[in-house]
Amino acid sequence: MLVSHATWHGGALCLWAERSGPHDPPGGDAHPFATRDFTGTSYEPLLRGAFRVELAMALPTFGDHPLPSAELGPEPVPGEPELRPWRVPALVLEPFPAMALLQAAEHSGDVVPGSDLRFLCVLADEAVHLAGRGQVLPALLREDGDLVARWRPVLDDPARFRALARAMPAACRAADGGRPAAEVLREALSGLVDTAVRGVVPHPLLPPRRGKAPDRLPLAERWAEALTGPSAEVAREPGDDPDELIAELDAWAAAARRPSGPLRVCFRLAEPGAEEFTTDPFPEEDEDEESGDAWRVEFALQGTDDPSLYVPAAMVWAGDATSIPDAEETLLAGLGRALRLFPDMAPALDGPAPAELILDTAGAFRFLRRAAPMLAAAGFGVLLPQWAGKAKLGMKLTTRTDDPEASAGAAAPSGFDLKGMVNFRWDLAIGDESIDEAELEELARLKTPLVRLRGQWVELDEEQLEAALDFLRHPRQGRMAAAEAIRAIVHAGDDALPLTAVDADGTFGDLLSGEADRRLTPMRTPDDLDAELRPYQERGLAWLTFMNDLGLGALLADDMGLGKTISVLSLLVHERENGARPGPTLAILPMSLVGNWQREAARFTPKLRVYVHHGTGRHRGEDLLEAAAAADLVLTTYGTATRDAEMLAPVGWERVICDEAQALKNSGTRQARAVRSIPARNRIALTGTPVENHLTELWSIMEFANPGLLGPRAAFRQRFAVPIEKEGDEQAALALKRATQPFILRRLKTDRSIISDLPEKQEIKVYCNLTTEQASLYQATVDDMLEQIAEADDKQRRGLVLATMAKLKQVCNHPAHLLKDGSRLPGRSGKLERLEEICAEVLDQGEKALVFTQYAEFGSMLQPYLAARLERPVLWLHGGTSKQARDDLVQHFQQDGEPAIFLLSLKAAGTGLTLTAANHVVHVDRWWNPAVEDQATDRAFRIGQTRNVQVRKFICVGTMEERVDEMIERKKALAESIVGTGEEWLTDLSVAELRDVLRLSPEAVSD
């Protein structure tokens, strides 16, 4: 196994790797398992010509050797490891190979990227994003005595920069003893931005001068050539004085920084016929009014915190803004800063009271496309007409089926399959309005980038016109297969000429519009299913059957607990009615769900022949082929499927099902590639969370269900993921929804129109007091951390905070949990006392409870203690429980009629179990991730539950548990993103904020 690492050193990306397996003992200070040999890997083509260097890296060390990275499996060590310099062989990459490697490293299947390299991959994406948004400026710099032309990022979001600096792994800056994270971040981001810009602007910025040698050009022109040329170095000539140009460019960069203060200068573009000025920044536009062809950019002051505070410059000069302190000075200073970004407004500033800039149509278009984004990025206010950026020239696809019955309604047959033919026609359109060839030719003749067409203004640059005219030269109607039409909808168009509308009839139209329900044949519960499907499950069965008949892969994304498993089992029973014998279905599952599928298949579909392909005794070769052919349903795990993919491939699978399909979210992993490689006629993905973090996860799952449908991953990121996630592009979001909604069925259990008879879930916060002993330990732990953290660096700070958080949670549980001294439990913990009371009440009522703790060691302490105090066996499930023992515990808890307490480790038992025999859930210690806690709660609150479920979350009064809970409640809308990665967000708080969060309040201690 090879784990790749990277650091930014000497203005360049330096790459090295760790080897797994046996290695030579350390000799001196040479890193014993470091290498720069990537021969035979996907990295090799990008590393040709790289310089070989040896770096001194300050790395965590224990004893006589550096500790392996987490990717190789962390080595447990007592106490804190020390930082020690090690000599590491590395490769120094040129800028373009470095950028290519950073954009491909996360998807390499043969080399595992370390956390430092993954961070630099994120930084490369950030650089590409900044370049794509135009948040870059050119600069002339002195480097080692030479003049060089560079592109610099415009960092207008200080919070984002600080967050990236805090997130930087120490290994990224470990060369030569280490440097401050902010310094390395600024240097790396500048280098990557320079490379990103040069990669998309390969042409010269200035046309060549005839009859003049390049080295005789003025310094400014030599600098402009170096901005996009093969070398960044600017040739020096006698008499050059670069100081003035450097000062001008530095001033330009300073002007691009976000202005501070309560007011900012604002620029409002008004189209011809709009009012002279208004105090309403968003006036009603009269689109039919044609009063001249002059466009105006109105200058104004606007509140930075309250954008509705809008004072036009004309009112400022008229003396009508006396309530605003220093209004005239603020306006003039802001206009002066903006002039460097928007030189076209220079004529408007010649007078004593600049209020507006008059532009022709070409000037208005330049403002829209160039000046407005730059001004907005620099922190100025920019107000544009409502149509700006929306009404664009694009393509419209119209398809019609041959079968007149195909559009007749729900009772008609589908008349459609992926191989069936449809008639199609491509048109040019603005919004939903098609435009004909004559109109386009007139627009081309006018040669104006902003045109009034059918009552609305439309941006139409030369590139769009050229694309549209080229579009007209190709055949635009005919016949094609429905599958080809779907792919055309997904991939059609580009930035110049996007796909803006689709008009389809019949089944195809219903699929694209999300109204395929009209085509579903109503279905009842199959006779051989030993259960009664709920109405929404019958609709789900009808949808799965419909998609299966069309040959389309399906993503069943129903909420957790709505019965995805029984829906799929119903499909297998349905297709075997009337003696039919389709091929076997392969279900690939997490290990924790194999027993659940076995039990549900045996309970609800006893006639299905089930074979479990797992374990050392599983069939191989011909025996596997025979066992699969004799089965209706084959169950296996993701790990086994990955190892046995080649053996599973020859089986004639009717379909492959992936449960908890988010296991495929990282498309480049060996597991995801292996699962996708198993051929089948049909594929179904089951997951309640199709997108956990990024849209590329949806791409990966869809690539399993319908290979190739969404195109290559890189194209998907560029077309959908980046515009939607980083820019909030509504058009891209609509296009993605249009492309994916035919293949996804998503229902929520909170939707009463879906399921109305699920009982209620009552969440209760149980506040517990600390004992005197707990309070003393708590305060000592906080004091110790605050004393150490004031002088700690970023890496030490994060470790201290996380370690202290763990200790404080253990104190809140019980002193013996922190001290690990095996001491007695009674009378020393407010939480334990309350837990005993609640468990006793549950048992007295003849009911059952699930008790979750995130600490297996605490659970091991609780289990014998509670069993003795309650005089009742207490079940205990944790990460070390074998599969057979796990299944036995679940079965016993579900089927035994006696009241019971089931103690569970949150990490080991938070997903994949059905424990509806319990109607009480207790979270003893909090994970501080609402999604994780909800998943654990849903072990009881799911289909099959007939009683209301009470969920109790323990919180120690006056401690960090109470204050963190309050913070989560205040930020509920962002809870998943803020707290979703555990508790590391707390490490970003200042010392004062930490002191406030962790402090012990007087009310914490019980009397």
Q: Which of 486, 509, 532 finishes a domain?
A: 509
pLDDT in tens, 741-780: 778 888 876 666 666 666 778 787 887 888 889 989 998 8
Higher pLDDT, 280 or 705: 705
Higher pLDDT, 564 or 435: 564
Q: In which residue are the tokens 């990460």 written?
A: 879
Half-sphere exposure of 748 (CA within 13 A, CB side): 4
Shared domain check, 546 and 601: yes
What does the block give as tokens for 837? 């009371």
pLDDT at 271: 84
Shared domain check, 533 and 671: yes
Quote helix, strand, coil % in the chain, to nearest 5. Answer: 45, 20, 35
pLDDT at 478: 81
* Domain assignment of residue 319, given as a range: 263-383
Shared domain check, 950 and 902: yes
In a domain, residue 217? The reply is no
Shared domain check, 602 and 579: yes
Helices (H) and strands (E) in the chain, counts: 36, 34
Taking the C-alpha atoms of residue 142 and residue 655, their distance in angstroms, rounded to an integer, is 63
pLDDT at 633: 96
3-state secondary structure of 441: helix
Instruction: Say if residue 671's pLDDT is above 60.
Output: yes
In a domain, residue 26? The reply is yes
Taking the C-alpha atoms of residue 560 and residue 840, their distance in angstroms, rounded to an integer, is 30
Higher pLDDT, 610 or 662: 610
Mean pLDDT of 59-75: 78
pLDDT at 638: 92
Q: Which of 509, 542, 560 finishes a domain?
A: 509
In a domain, residue 798? The reply is yes
Higher pLDDT, 539 or 912: 539
Give me the helices (H) in 883-929, please: 883-895, 906-909
Instruction: Say if residue 982's pLDDT is above 70.
Output: no
Binned at pLDDT 50, 70 and 90, residue 973 comes out as very low
pLDDT at 628: 94
In a domain, residue 388? The reply is no
* Ordered DSSP codes for 449-510: SEEEETTEEEE--HHHHHHHHHHHTS--EEEEEHHHHHHHHHH-B-SSSBEEEEEE-HHHHH
Residues in the chain, overall count:
1007
pLDDT at 20: 75
3-state secondary structure of 686: strand
Binned at pLDDT 50, 70 and 90, residue 797 comes out as confident
Residue 480's DSSP bridge partners are 422
In a domain, residue 775? The reply is yes
In a domain, residue 287? The reply is yes
Give the range with max mean pLDDT: 127-141, 866-880, 898-912: 866-880
Supply the Cα-derived Rg of the chain in whole angstroms: 33
pLDDT at 921: 93
pLDDT in tens, 76-94: 666 677 888 889 999 999 8
Burial (CB < 10 A; 0-12, 13-18, 19+), residue 308, is exposed
What's the domain count of the chain?
5
Q: Which of 167, 184, 200 finishes a domain?
A: 200
Binned at pLDDT 50, 70 and 90, residue 984 comes out as very low
pLDDT at 920: 92
pLDDT in tens, 592-650: 678 778 888 988 999 999 999 988 889 999 999 999 999 999 999 999 999 999 999 99
pLDDT at 412: 34
pLDDT in tens, 55-66: 998 888 887 788
Shared domain check, 579 and 728: yes
pLDDT at 281: 38
Shared domain check, 425 and 293: no
Across the chain, what does the average pLDDT equal?
80
Half-sphere exposure of 907 (CA within 13 A, CB side): 11
Shared domain check, 528 and 505: no
pLDDT at 122: 85
Shared domain check, 525 and 505: no
Shared domain check, 445 and 376: no
Question: The domain that contains 592 carries what CATH number?
Answer: 3.40.50.10810
pLDDT in tens, 638-656: 999 999 999 999 999 999 9
Contact at 8 Å (CB) between 168 and 251? Answer: no
Lowest mean pLDDT among 256-265, 330-339, 351-360, 677-686: 256-265
Taking the C-alpha atoms of residue 200 and residue 205, their distance in angstroms, rounded to an integer, is 12
pLDDT at 615: 85
Contact at 8 Å (CB) between 604 and 530? Answer: yes
Binned at pLDDT 50, 70 and 90, residue 287 comes out as very low
Instruction: Say if residue 409's pLDDT is above 60.
Output: no
pLDDT in tens, 817-864: 988 888 889 888 988 988 998 898 889 888 999 999 999 899 999 999
Shared domain check, 137 and 78: yes
Contact at 8 Å (CB) between 614 and 637? Answer: yes
Lowest mean pLDDT among 119-123, 134-138, 212-216, 581-585: 212-216
Kind of pairing between the strands at 949-956 and 920-923: parallel
Binned at pLDDT 50, 70 and 90, residue 410 comes out as very low
Kind of pairing between the strands at 554-556 and 682-686: parallel
Higher pLDDT, 968 or 567: 567
In a domain, residue 668? The reply is yes
Shared domain check, 660 and 577: yes
Shared domain check, 731 and 613: yes
Higher pLDDT, 901 or 292: 901
pLDDT in tens, 209-220: 544 455 567 787
pLDDT in tens, 454-471: 667 777 767 777 777 777
Taking the C-alpha atoms of residue 210 and residue 859, their distance in angstroms, rounded to an integer, is 82
Q: In which residue are the tokens 């479920």 written?
A: 949
In a domain, residue 253? The reply is no
pLDDT at 991: 60
